[in-house]
Amino acid sequence: MQSFYENKRVFITGGSGFLGRVIVENLLRKTEVKCIYMLIRAKHGTTSEERIKKMLSGPLFDKVRELKPQLHTLITPINGDCIQPNLGISPEDREVLKTNVDIVIHSAATIRFNEPLYNALILNVGAIKSVLALAKEMSQLKAFVHVSTAYSNCILPHIEEKFYPEIIGITANKALKLAEYLGPELTNNLAKDLLGNFPNTYTFTKALAEELILSEAGTLPICIFRPAIITSTYAEPTPGWVDNYAGVTGCLYAIAQGMLRVVYIHSNKPTLLVPVDFCANTILACGYKTAQQEKIEKSEPVIYNFVPDESNSIIWGTVADAGAHYGRKYPFSNIVWYPFILKVQTQRLATILVFLLHIIPSYMQDMLLRLRGEKTRMVLLNQKQEQLLQVLNYFKTNAWTHGTTNTKNLWQSLTPAEQSNFNFNMSGVCWKQYLNDILFGLQRYLVREDDETMLKAKKRLRKLQFIHRSLVALTVTGLTLFVFIVTFYCLEQRYLNTNYFSTIKIFAK
């Protein structure tokens, strides 16, 4: 694999995203890639060059900077935007890409589950259409890897490594034409009808993107990589690295911070977590394998499902408990309550407990903030938290199985040295250690706290622990007393009623 990527020129979309950064880091650290063309746009007054410079200065690239001090010279920014026609790439840059690119990795996408349908269509479907058109003009192209999701066909209980165009209800091209004709507002109004059984616009548009590849890829040397829920790094370049609060990471942070205390979840359902560095390694292996197969006649692109191995899975209940356990081990200095979690399997009970343990406390905390002359925020944070949990409900309460023959064959096709250098063996994951590293990484890379701040955090944790246990003790005592009084009252009434009827019987005789 290393020799394959040597002196190659790679074009990547989504390179500044969570997965994209790890792909770029892997290419720079593990291979002698000649050049990485990164599609990137100016943002918030920061130029594309400045954004790349800032990205390369982060902790993810510490090891690469030691190995290759001039690593910034290996990345060439391609100014563009996935929401623009033809990706917004200038004619000059298009010529550079068409002439030089050997490998395309398309990982750009909106991963927001509640993204308006029009936006999701443009970003997740329109962009891949533009990338496919550009790839067909690349004279040196050897491999094209499209990053999809293991949930692209989530309305099915079992998902094989194949296409399912029949479940979508509309083709990608028709959906794009509809969006173009109707515009944002009307397209978004039709979302419920177009999505059918799909739970959100993300999974629906990812399914459409796969259908588009099936119908338009033609003879391109292309494959599809379907990862499940992408989380922190497992080992490379450092355990626990993460740069966002999306999805499960955000939930674990909320539990560890003491904000999330009740979660509606089916505890025994398997959780499909996959480390981001494993995903990056698999993508590079997919590109390598696809290039080997480019001359072989095949009916359709190869698909690689990437999910936890069935022999080494983890359940939602374990993940939720880990958020509280390791939240106490690695406390944040801004912790709002002692971390604990109640796992509830019915929506009705969850609603009641959320009102008691989320909504009421958030209003009380805001009242205290107002009295202290500070800006209120807890109610708003709680509302955002509930919105995140709502969009995750579908995935926390359902279960899927996946065929992984192609992915397992890909792993077996690598040499022992390649397997060691590009590890993505999910059967070897130690989940206990990984969950520990996720929470540690949250503290170090997102909250950006260290051993010094942890001393302060642990002191605050002990105070909150005392208050929490005191309240629990008072609550249990109060409930016990209430049950005792009610029971005593009922027994007394029964005794009085019994005596009353006995007296009546005596007088009747």
Tokens of 440: 């540690």
DSSP H helices in 299-450 = 316-329, 347-354, 360-371, 378-396, 405-413, 416-421, 431-441
Q: Which residues pair with 306 in a beta bridge?
A: 227
pLDDT at 487: 80
Tokens of 2: 């290393």
pLDDT at 388: 84
CA dist 369 → 243, 355, 382, 471, 496 (Å):
29, 20, 15, 21, 52
pLDDT at 45: 83
Alpha-carbon Rg of the chain, whole angstroms? 27
Q: Which residues pair with 146 in a beta bridge?
A: 106, 224
Task: Please give the CATH superfamily to which domain 2-240+272-309+400-423 belongs.
Answer: NAD(P)-binding Rossmann-like Domain (3.40.50.720)
Strand ranges in 132-188 using DSSP code E only, listed in sequence order: 143-147, 158-159
264-309 pLDDT, tens digit per residue, is 999 999 999 999 999 999 999 999 999 987 555 556 899 999 999 9
pLDDT at 2: 86
DSSP H helices in 258-315 = 276-292
| Cis peptide bond N-terminal to 237, omega within 30 | yes
**Is the distance from CB of 211 to CB of 168 less than 8 angstroms?**
yes
Give residue 504's identity as a one-letter amino acid code.
Answer: I
- The dihedral sign for the CA sequence 434, 436, 439, 443: negative
pLDDT at 292: 87
C-alpha span between 478 and 472 (Å, rounded): 10
Task: Classify residue 355 by burial, with Cβ atoms within 10 Å: 0-12, 13-18, 19+.
Answer: exposed
**Is the distance from CB of 126 to CB of 212 less than 8 angstroms?**
no
C-alpha span between 94 and 106 (Å, rounded): 16
Tokens of 75: 């990345």
The residue extents of the domains of the chain are 2-240+272-309+400-423, 453-509
Give residue 254's identity as a one-letter amino acid code.
Answer: A
**Is the distance from CB of 155 to CB of 195 less than 8 angstroms?**
no
Global confidence as pTM: 0.91
pLDDT at 272: 95
CA dist 259 → 253, 254, 368, 384, 397 (Å):
9, 5, 16, 11, 21
124-136 pLDDT, tens digit per residue, is 999 999 999 999 9
pLDDT at 86: 92
Neighbours of 83 (CB within 10 A): 14
User: Which residue is it, tokens 């004619």?
Assistant: 91
pLDDT at 294: 56
Residues written for the chain: 509
pLDDT at 369: 87
Ranges of residues in the chain whose predicted pLDDT is under 70: 294-299, 495-509
